[in-house]
Every structure is written in C-alpha cells, then in structure tokens.
Amino acid sequence: MTAGLTQRQAEERKLMQKNPHLLDVLLAKERTIESKLRTTLAVINTSAAVGAFGFALIKFFEGNELATDLGWFLLFCALIIALYGVKRFIHYRYESDSIKKHRADLADLVE
C-alpha cells in the first residue's frame, strides 16, 4: 500500500486506474440528482398553489357545502404532496452532498 493512503483511498486509486471515466460518471449522477432536486421543488411549489386554491374555495364559498368540501380536500391533498416532496427533497439533498464529497475525494486522488 502507498505511504500516506488509507486502504479505501488505495482501492479508489486502483479503481480510477481501471476506469478513468469514473469522475465523468459521478458528474452525470450529480447532474441527475440536481435535476431531481429542481423537480421536487417544483412539486412543492405546485402543492402550495393547490393548497392556496383550496383555502380560497373554503373562504369565498362558505355557504356552498360542495365548494367547501372540495377546498378541504384540496388542502389535505396539498399537505400530503408537500410532506412527501419535502421528504424526497431531503433525500436527494443528502444524496447530492454524498456524491459531491465522493467526487472531491476522487479528484484529490487523481491529482
């Protein structure tokens, strides 16, 4: 094993020698995750708009039972979608940070 390298770093260096395009693969993964992050944020924003519409239905049509029920339904759906979106956002953010760290480690080994 090379002096100053841990076993993991030595294994990664061997892997880089076998597959020199590994950094390109990690960059592609990083771009994919960033795209998923943007899509998830768009879903959360859309959910907020649906919730606002549901709230407007409840407020402006207080006497109409159908409109009020529809408003509550939209608010409930928006809440579920927003919570799921936040969960996915946290997951993708963690995955993105992990890939960035791994890519930086590999870039240091290549130098």
62-89 pLDDT, tens digit each: 889 999 999 999 999 999 999 999 999 9
Q: How would residue 1 be classed by pLDDT, with cut points 50, 70 and 90?
A: very low
Distance between CA atoms of residues 110 and 36, nearest Å: 28
Instruction: Evaluate whether 74 touches 56 at the Cβ level (below 8 Å).
Output: no
How many contiguous H segments (helices) and E segments (strands) does the chain have? Answer: 3, 0
Cα–chain-centroid distance for residue 32?
Answer: 10
Distance between CA atoms of residues 56 and 62, nearest Å: 10
User: pTM of whole model > 0.75?
Assistant: no
Return the pLDDT at 39: 94
Return the pLDDT at 111: 58
pLDDT exceeds 90 at position 50: yes
Distance between CA atoms of residues 69 and 32, nearest Å: 39
